[in-house]
A = this chain, B = another copy of it.
């Protein structure tokens, strides 16, 4: 039974820096035997959390109260063994729209209030942050801290980052790190299923070049069709 890896992209640009590195991670996961899928928070509406957990009769439970695209994402997250989040760094933190999703993930975690385990418990997670300057560690550390507090497991070297913005694919260390986020998250999830799985950092320059070239081609094909214009704007 293959490891299911879900990538969630927090960027308005499908092939911006965070999209590039997240795709590298997913590609690596796939080569490790995982089934992968990539979804973007910008591809639909994610209504903001209403804080139901503080209501007099608390009714914060999976899959949240809203019938929107956010619900689809929550259901996908619930089905995955591994969750990889990639985000641009806006003011040292995930994008606001991604934060909406994180807020709504309370409905997964808050199942503990109904006598069930957190639906995030035991999932393996990794994160990718890309910006043009500062705040990458703050954003990445924040995400790992939150995901662990929902019950998730963090594999070694679970945060890859680049400050080269939309040139992240040319940032050798970042690409190698992103590949490892994919490999090691998949590897740890496999181990927890009783399968073999990698748990140590892989420094393989040939693999780096191969995956980079593949993602570069995907980016080129995408831009041939769509230009560099952003797509998937909510409301567009």
Chain A positions within 8 Å of B, measured between CB atoms, are: 11-13, 16, 42, 46-51, 53-54, 56, 88, 90-103, 105-106, 112, 117-118, 121-122, 132, 134-138, 140-142, 144-146, 148-149, 151-159, 161, 165-166, 188, 191-192, 199-201, 228, 230, 233-235
Contacts and interface: CB of A to CB of B under 8 A. Distances in A.
Given A48-B234, A91-B106, 16 more contacts: A12-B50, A16-B51, A54-B88, A54-B132, A93-B99, A96-B101, A112-B201, A121-B199, A137-B137, A141-B141, A144-B145, A149-B157, A151-B157, A153-B153, A191-B191, A191-B192
Contact of A134 (B136, B157, B235): B136
Contact of A149 (B102, B112, B121, B159): B159
Q: Count copies of this chain in the complex.
A: 4
B154 A48 contact: no
Contacts of A156: 121-122, 148, 151-153
A140 B142 CA distance: 11
Contact of A117 (B91, B201, B235): B201
A228 B50 CA distance: 13
6 contacts: A11-B51, A13-B51, A54-B166, A92-B145, A122-B200, A153-B199
Given A47-B234, A165-B54, A144 B154 contact: yes
Contacts of A151: 156-157, 201
A96 B93 contact: no
B235 A201 contact: no
Kindly list the 6 A-B residue pairs having the minimum CB-CB distance in the complex, ordered from nearest: A96-B100, A141-B145, A154-B154, A96-B99, A48-B97, A134-B137
A184 B132 CA distance: 25
A220 B148 CA distance: 34
B50 A137 contact: no
Instruction: Please indicate which of the listed interface residues A95, A112, A233 has the most CB atoms of chain B within 10 Å of its own CB.
Output: A95
A140 B90 CA distance: 17
